[in-house]
């Protein structure tokens, strides 16, 4: 992996620390979120409605929040997302029925939208400013090693906290899963302080005055749509992202009931915690391998992503037919490892096509495609699982994932460059 020196190393370290802590915060509630909602008195169907409200809010606010980051400052908008997350966490802590839980999940969905792409865009532009000849794919791969580790460690902690309720339950009058929210709130405060002190925006990234910034908002969104729909490379990457979202949501929706059906018991919390952590650790291993794999492909990034997305589709198909926990774990982990390899070159191709002034908006555009795919997958793959079987649902998801890889094969055939010069002016 290529070395990063001086200011570039400092920017990379700041980004990696920031996103690792951010991922750790997500991991604190990942293993127990549905159980937490049910602990508030919701049934499974009502919990699904609450999560749909979260997704819908994220989808609706993705582009406006990204555009605000491009006009009012990436750091400012990320700090705003942390403040909104803190409010949403408190709302969830004190919620008691479907309406109050939905109010909390809508607030948390808004926080997710405002955080999406803001610090990522800061890192890309700041790294290019201080290391104009630096390899952004290598930098993303290096940072990507630690981000899934944050998710994995957070998931382990989040899974362990409820089992310790007997220790703190007599001192703090909270329900079994509420301590996860308390820890999340504490870590959000830590992350806010760290972001204020560590993230420094260079020239061109700082916020406009409020009036001029809001005046640029319409222009930024219009430019983003132009790049999203008229730039063939960007459009193909967005379509592939949407299809990936369909497949990934089918995996995330059904893996817990599938494990339960394999083991035949409802007492699964420790198994689910280990599998959740292994899921993210596998992604971290993939990021560690990414630069080496790209080197073997001579940095032909479209071919790298095509190969590993196709492999992921094959592994998902094999996962659909596993009836032992060891076989399940093997292919479950391999799917995320292949994605860890493919994600940095995919992000590098996408960023190479983006003008710096609208980068955060366009990263939100990509996140929007992923969220729309996730919503489609949750409905469609979930319906197939209920009407037929999880195996059938995952077979369809595997086919969708394999088909998504064709976009990268087409880009490779068109001779899409591994790393294009950054577009500096908005069209």
Confidence of residue 223 (pLDDT cuts 50, 70, 90): low
**What is residue 297's DSSP assignment?**
T
Confidence of residue 427 (pLDDT cuts 50, 70, 90): very low
Confidence of residue 400 (pLDDT cuts 50, 70, 90): very high
Which tokens go with 329?
Answer: 């774990």
Task: Encode pLDDT of 27-77 as tens digits.
Answer: 898 877 877 887 888 876 677 678 778 888 888 887 677 777 777 788 888
Q: What local confidence, expressed as pLDDT, does residue 204 receive?
A: 54
Q: What local confidence, expressed as pLDDT, does residue 71 receive?
A: 75
Confidence of residue 188 (pLDDT cuts 50, 70, 90): very high
pTM of the complete model: 0.72
**What's the whole-number mean pLDDT along residues 153-179?**
75
Confidence of residue 171 (pLDDT cuts 50, 70, 90): low
State which CATH number among 1.20.1250.20, 3.40.50.300, 3.40.50.2300, 3.40.50.1470 fits the domain covering 6-413: 1.20.1250.20
Task: Encode pLDDT of 211-221 as tens digits.
Answer: 444 445 555 55
Looking at every residue in the chain, the average pLDDT score rounds to: 81
Q: Report which of 218, 174, 231, 192 is spatially closest to residue 361, judged by C-alpha positions.
A: 218
Question: Is the pLDDT reported for residue 424 higher than 50?
Answer: no
Question: Is the pLDDT reported for residue 411 higher than 80?
Answer: yes
Task: Encode pLDDT of 304-325 as tens digits.
Answer: 999 999 999 999 999 999 999 9
Confidence of residue 110 (pLDDT cuts 50, 70, 90): very high
Which tokens go with 382?
Answer: 């979930």
Q: Give the separation between CA 117 and CA 333, rounded to whole angstroms.
A: 26
Q: Report which of 76, 246, 316, 270 is spatially closest to residue 164, judged by C-alpha positions.
A: 270
Q: Give the separation between CA 401 and CA 92, rounded to whole angstroms.
A: 34
């Amino acid at each position: 992996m290529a070395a990063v020196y001086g200011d570039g190393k400092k920017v990379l370290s700041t980004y990696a620390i920031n996103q690792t802590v951010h991922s750790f915060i997500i991991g604190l509630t990942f293993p127990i979120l549905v159980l937490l909602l049910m602990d508030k008195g919701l049934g499974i169907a009502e919990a699904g409605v609450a999560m749909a409200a979260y997704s819908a809010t994220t989808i609706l606010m993705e582009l406006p929040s990204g555009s605000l980051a491009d006009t009012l400052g990436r750091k400012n908008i990320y700090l705003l997302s942390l403040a909104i997350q803190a409010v949403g966490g408190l709302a969830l802590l004190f919620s008691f029925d479907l309406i109050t839980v939905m109010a909390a999940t809508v607030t948390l969905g808004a926080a997710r939208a405002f955080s999406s792409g803001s610090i990522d865009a800061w890192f890309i532009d700041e790294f290019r400013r201080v290391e104009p000849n630096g390899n952004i794919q290598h930098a993303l791969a290096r940072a990507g090693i630690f981000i899934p580790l944050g998710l994995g460690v957070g998931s382990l902690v989040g899974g362990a906290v409820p089992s310790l309720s007997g220790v703190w339950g007599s001192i703090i009058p909270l329900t079994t899963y509420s301590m996860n929210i308390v820890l999340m709130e504490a870590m959000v405060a830590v992350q806010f302080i760290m972001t204020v002190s560590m993230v420094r925006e260079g020239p061109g990234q700082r916020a406009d005055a409020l009036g001029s910034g809001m005046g640029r908002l319409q222009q930024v969104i219009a430019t983003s749509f132009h790049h999203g729909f008229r730039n063939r490379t960007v459009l193909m990457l967005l379509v592939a992202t949407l299809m990936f979202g369909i497949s990934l949501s089918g995996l995330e929706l059904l893996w817990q009931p599938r494990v339960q059906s394999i083991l035949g018991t409802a007492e699964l919390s420790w198994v689910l915690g280990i599998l959740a952590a292994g899921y993210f650790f596998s992604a971290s291993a993939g990021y560690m391998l990414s630069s080496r794999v790209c080197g073997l492909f001579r940095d032909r990034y479209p071919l790298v992503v095509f190969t590993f997305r196709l492999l992921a589709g094959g592994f998902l198909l094999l996962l659909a037919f596993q009836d032992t926990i060891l076989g399940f774990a093997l292919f479950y982990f391999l799917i995320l490892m292949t994605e860890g390899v493919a994600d940095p070159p995919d992000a590098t191709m996408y960023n190479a096509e983006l003008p710096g002034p609208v980068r955060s908006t366009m990263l939100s555009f990509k996140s929007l495609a992923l969220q729309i795919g996730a919503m489609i997958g949750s409905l469609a793959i979930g319906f197939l699982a209920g009407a037929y079987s999880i195996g059938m649902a995952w077979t369809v998801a595997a086919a969708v994932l394999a088909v998504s890889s064709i976009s990268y094969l087409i880009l490779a055939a068109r001779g899409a460059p591994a790393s294009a010069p950054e577009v500096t002016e908005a069209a």
